[in-house]
Amino acid sequence: MKTILDKINRADEIQANKVELAKHEVKLASIKDLLEAIKIIKGSEGSADKVANVFEQKVAEANKAYTALMNERNAIYKWANNEAPARLADFEKAAKQLGLEINNVPEVVELRKEIKNGIELVKALDGYKKPNDVF
């Protein structure tokens, strides 16, 4: 009888060890899940850093392009609103003193057209907004 009880006790011990092993397997599986999550997040962080760096470079490039555009706008404004009209007025005054009709002079007609185009272009360029610094 002792052998049967020994076998039953031994079977209970084996069953208890199986339960203990199952707990360790669950713990190992949970740790594997955690390690996978850590790996994914670290990978995403590295990827996000790369994308953020590219984004910051593009914003800096956009700011440089905007500055260049506004420099061109200012040059056009200066010539369309100040320099060209002043030169045209000087030419008209000199032609009037000589008794010449300037409305048929091709350069006068073209300059008036370019002044008008320049003023319209400045208005269009004024619609551009500076990119905001986002970092």
Residue 55 has pLDDT above 60, yes or no: yes
Q: Which two structure tokens, joined as six digits, stand for 109?
A: 């007609």
Q: Is residue 33 part of a domain?
A: yes
Q: Considering its fold, how many domains does the chain have in total?
A: 1
Residue 53 has pLDDT above 90, yes or no: yes
Residue 25 has pLDDT above 70, yes or no: no
Distance CA 42, CA 38 (A): 6
Alpha helices in the chain (DSSP H): 2-78, 84-98, 106-125
Largest CA distance in the chain: 142
Q: Is residue 85 part of a domain?
A: yes
Q: Is residue 45 part of a domain?
A: yes
Q: Is residue 86 part of a domain?
A: yes
pLDDT tens for 82-130 read 999 999 999 999 999 999 999 989 999 999 999 999 999 999 999 999 9
What domain range includes position 113?
Answer: 2-125
